[in-house]
Amino acid sequence: MSTTTESAAGAAPDAAPAKTGPGAHPPAGRRNRGKRQPVAVQHMAGWLFSTPFLVLFAVFMALPIVATLVMSFTDFGLRNVTDPLSAEFIGLENYTKLFGDEKFLKALFNTAYFVVVGVPLTVGLGLGVAVLLNNGIDRARTFFRVGFYAPVVTSIVAIAVVWRFVLDPSDGLIAGLASEVGLTSPDFLGSEALAMPSLIVMAVWRNLGTVMVLFIAGLQAIPPDVREAARLDGASTWQEFRRITVPLLRPTMLYTTVITTIGYLNVFEEPFVMTQGGPSDSTLTVSLAMYREGFNFFHMGYASAMAYVLFVVIMAITVLQLRLLKDNTK
Amino acid sequence: MSAARTTSPPPPPSAPAGPVDPKGPSWSDPGSGTAPKSGGGRLRKSGVYALLSIGLLVMAAPFLWMGLSSFKTDRDLTASPPVWIPSEWTLEHFDELLDRLDVPLYFFNSLTVAVLVTASNLVFCSMLGYALAKLRFGGRNKIFALVLGALMVPGNLMLLPLFVLMSKLQLIDSYAGLMLPFAAQAFGVFLMRQFMQSIPDELLEAARIDGAREWYIFWRIAMPLVKPALATLSILIFLGSWNNFVWPLIATNDPEKYTLPVALATFATDPNQSAGSNGMLMVGSLLIILPVLLVFIVLQRHFTQGLATTGMK
């Protein structure tokens, strides 16, 4: 511990000048007994404290974000993994090819399907459970909360294994229960019509807990006196919900909808582990298509174009949601 | 959003409450309303309990199924109708798993990466969180904007060049390659900033007047005060790393460096290998989930607290 302290503090003056910018003040190490620290000391400390994050951010996030964009205009292939600079620029070719690529269009459609059905279900059910937990009962809240949140903390791989088994048409749990009442279970993951809905149900099951916890926090942040005042003024249960809870929950609703949408637009793990995109590409999502092009076929330029199209879509939808769901009462 | 509808009148209080009907009477606390407590209120509450219990059962069923199936014989596993409780308890699938997959090695890999990632995030996220919350310096707002922006960027966007970069750095199949992209996560910075803000300025100011250096103030004064936040951060980061799947899948070719989820998924998605080994896959899943689930149940407060903090502010 103490050695870390020494070295980091000792390193301070060296790294400082580069970052402090104009009006360089005297370096640290100066004692200012009885006086406020000069701004320069905090300035330097601030940048020093930021450096590790900024360096890692620059190398492993900013650089790749830019590199993906650049790669999407090249024919980056397997040989360029060892020799990236020899990739040739081919302009917008990847992008024009994309929009004639039936697989990609199908992936876009599948992803939209997943989001449009999955997000309202997840947010709606999460909100429902949160309200029931927060306002409907007064005992065993923690017990229920832990139970509903448990799938969030578990590995997708384990979840996929179990769900594949649950959904198995011959000796799965659902098939067994169905045969008990004289029904035959469909082959959920083997059917083009049912594979995607099955993945959506699984995603809702897995993400419900996150949404629930966010809504519970939002509900608890509503001051009790506001409710009290509304009741004293004779507000009914419904009016209280409609005029107090909903408006005050709006920021939470916005936030949960946005993060759930972003997460679902990126959906990759569920189809990768459960169906590998099948049957006949009915669960192929954009991220999965990108992964395949990039890491199975090493068409990395083409895959980069896919990644950027998805990114632009995500940004556009996020901005749109922020606009639409923003508190427009102000 | 469904909850924002204005029309539909409030349903009668006796209407059954349902999670898919967010307009139901269960939204408000029946016990503390202006209406006197009545039999209807109690009935309504029992209804809510029943509903939540059913929901919980649905949530827990796959876990129960997995746990019990891990101890079933092959005959029980394929029995129709399904048997919940094994007719004969067996550990044969544990043996099978250990035989066919080098579980201790993958466990060690997962653990090593998770510990390294957690340690680096504890230090780096706290440093920047402290600076953003408690230090006044030029560019602070820009850095904070950067952190918020980084929160929004989907991880899949960076996979391709990150793979190329790691290949060039010869970090494929190394612990460094597995951990570096996650060594300082924006969400951790955000979390720590929120908690650091709660430290009273007077305390830090007093230390500064006594001539303490900023690093000392950070490490010896601020950090001990945010221990609960550090616990929350450790749990969330550790878990994220333990469960991480896509990047380890890409960044490892050598089975010697597989993490537990990658090893299991590689096995499970290869039909030549996994055919007929459902019992073994159940055991593998159980081994991935069990440590995490236990930690979660014991420390569940930290999870929800952390999530709520990053979610709300």
The domain segmentation of chain B, as residue ranges, is: 2-61, 97-312
Check: pTM over 0.90? Answer yes or no: no
Q: What are phi and psi of B270, to 5 degrees?
A: -100, 100
Residue A274's pLDDT is 87
Nearest-angstrom CA–CA distance, A278 and A198: 12
The 10 Å Cβ neighbour count of residue B112 is 14
Chain A residues 42-81 within an 8 A CB cutoff of chain B: 42-47, 49-50, 52-54, 56-57, 59-61, 63-65, 67-68, 71, 80-81
Please check whether residue A38 touches B, CB under 8 A: no
> Domain A95-325 belongs to what topology?
MetI-like fold (1.10.3720)
Q: In which element (H, E) is residue A265 found?
A: helix A246-265
Asked if A253 and B1 count as a contact pair (C-beta separation under 8 A), the reply is yes
Residue A189's pLDDT is 85
Running DSSP on this structure, what letter comes out for residue A24? Answer: P
Q: How many helices (H) and strands (E) in chain A? A: 16, 0
Instruction: Pull the structure tokens for residue B35.
Output: 């209406």
* Mean pLDDT computed over B277-304: 82
pLDDT at B53 over 60: yes
A24/chain B closest Cα distance in angstroms:
12
Chain B residues 83-112 within an 8 A CB cutoff of chain A: none
Residue B96's pLDDT is 84
Mutation for A interface: B2, B27, B34, B218, most A CBs within 10 A: B27
Nearest by CB to A137, from B52, B180, B215: name it: B52
Please check whether residue A212 touches B, CB under 8 A: no
Residues of chain A neighbouring B55 (CB-CB closer than 8 A):
129, 148
Of the pLDDT bands very low, low, confident and very high (cuts 50, 70, 90), residue A207 is very high
Residues of chain B neighbouring A133 (CB-CB closer than 8 A):
52
- B128–A50 C-beta distance less than 8 A: yes
Nearest by CB to A266, from B138, B154, B214: name it: B154
Q: Which residue has the tokens 């959506």?
A: A200
Least confident range from A175-189, A217-231, B23-37: namely B23-37
* Mean pLDDT computed over A271-278: 86
* Mean pLDDT computed over B145-164: 88
Residue B110's pLDDT is 94
* Mean pLDDT computed over A168-190: 79
Show Cβ contacts of residue A221 under 8 Å, excluding neighbours closer than 6 positions.
Answer: A248, B312
Of the pLDDT bands very low, low, confident and very high (cuts 50, 70, 90), residue A310 is very high
Of the pLDDT bands very low, low, confident and very high (cuts 50, 70, 90), residue A12 is very low
pLDDT at A31 over 70: no
Nearest by CB to B80, from A166, A171, A213: name it: A171
Show Cβ contacts of residue B11 under 8 Å, excluding neighbours closer than 6 positions.
Answer: B23, B24, B25
pLDDT at A28 over 60: no
Residue A64's pLDDT is 93
Of the pLDDT bands very low, low, confident and very high (cuts 50, 70, 90), residue A133 is confident
Of the pLDDT bands very low, low, confident and very high (cuts 50, 70, 90), residue A224 is confident
Burial of A89 (0-12, 13-18, 19+ CB in 10 A): exposed
Chains A and B form CB pairs within 8 A to the count of 384
Is the preceding peptide bond at A17 cis, omega within 30 degrees of 0?
A: no
pLDDT per position as a tens digit, B173-208:
999 999 999 999 999 999 899 889 989 999 999 998
Please check whether residue A218 touches B, CB under 8 A: yes
Q: How far is CA B131 from the centre of its chain?
A: 26
Q: Which residue has the tokens 């299991």?
A: B264
The 10 Å Cβ neighbour count of residue B183 is 20
Quickly list DSSP for B194-260: HHHTTS-HHHHHHHHHTT--HHHIIIIIIHHHTHHHHHHHHHHHHHHHHH--HHHHHH--SGGG--H
Of the pLDDT bands very low, low, confident and very high (cuts 50, 70, 90), residue B308 is low
Q: What is the ipTM of this complex?
A: 0.78
Name the average pLDDT for chain B.
80
Q: Which residue of A has its CA nearest to B21?
A: A128
Of the pLDDT bands very low, low, confident and very high (cuts 50, 70, 90), residue A230 is confident
Q: Measured at the alpha carbon of residue B26, what is the angle toward residues A147 and A138, in degrees to the nearest 5?
A: 55
B157/chain A closest Cα distance in angstroms:
5
Mean pLDDT comparison of A33-47, A75-89, A200-214, highest-scoring range: A200-214
Q: Which residue of B has its CA nearest to A79?
A: B164
pLDDT at B40 over 90: no
pLDDT per position as a tens digit, A238-251:
787 778 888 888 88
Nearest-angstrom CA–CA distance, A287 and A72: 15
pLDDT at B1 over 60: no
- A262–B22 C-beta distance less than 8 A: no
Burial of B67 (0-12, 13-18, 19+ CB in 10 A): middle
Looking at the domain that runs over B97-312, which CATH code has it been given? 1.10.3720.10
* Mean pLDDT computed over B17-34: 37
Nearest-angstrom CA–CA distance, A315 and A321: 10
Residues of chain B neighbouring A305 (CB-CB closer than 8 A):
none
pLDDT at A125 over 50: yes
Instruction: Pull the structure tokens for residue A198.
Output: 């099955």
Q: Is the dihedral of CA B14, B15, B20, B24 positive or negative?
A: negative
Q: How far is CA B166 from the centre of its chain?
A: 26
CA distances from A167 to A160, A174, B17 (A): 10, 6, 29
Q: Which residue of A has its CA nearest to B60?
A: A147
Least confident range from A26-30, A213-217, B118-122: namely A26-30
Please check whether residue B150 touches A, CB under 8 A: yes
Q: Which residue has the tokens 């590199």?
A: A67
Instruction: Pull the structure tokens for residue B288.
Output: 């991935």
- A269–B245 C-beta distance less than 8 A: yes
pLDDT at B270 over 90: no
Nearest by CB to A290, from B61, B63, B156: name it: B156
Question: For residue B21, what are the β-bridge partners?
Answer: B18
Least confident range from A81-90, B77-86, B114-123: namely B77-86
Boundaries of every domain in chain A: 2-71, 95-325
Residues of chain B neighbouring A50 (CB-CB closer than 8 A):
127-128, 131, 143
Residue B269's pLDDT is 79
Residue B304's pLDDT is 65
Name the average pLDDT for chain A.
82
Asked if B130 and B258 count as a contact pair (C-beta separation under 8 A), the reply is no
Of the pLDDT bands very low, low, confident and very high (cuts 50, 70, 90), residue A38 is low
Residue B310's pLDDT is 59
* Mean pLDDT computed over A60-80: 90
Nearest-angstrom CA–CA distance, A319 and A313: 10
pLDDT at B144 over 90: yes
For chain B, where are the E strands, in sequence order? none
Residue B124's pLDDT is 96
Burial of A97 (0-12, 13-18, 19+ CB in 10 A): middle
Helix (H, G, I), strand (E, B) or coil at A89: strand
Residue B305's pLDDT is 66
Residue B271's pLDDT is 75
pLDDT at A21 over 50: no
* Mean pLDDT computed over A157-173: 83
In chain B, what percentage of residues exceed pLDDT 90? 34
Nearest-angstrom CA–CA distance, B78 and B74: 6
Chain B residues 237-296 within an 8 A CB cutoff of chain A: 239, 242-243, 245-246, 250, 260-262, 264-265, 268-269, 278, 281-282, 284-286, 288-289, 292-293, 296
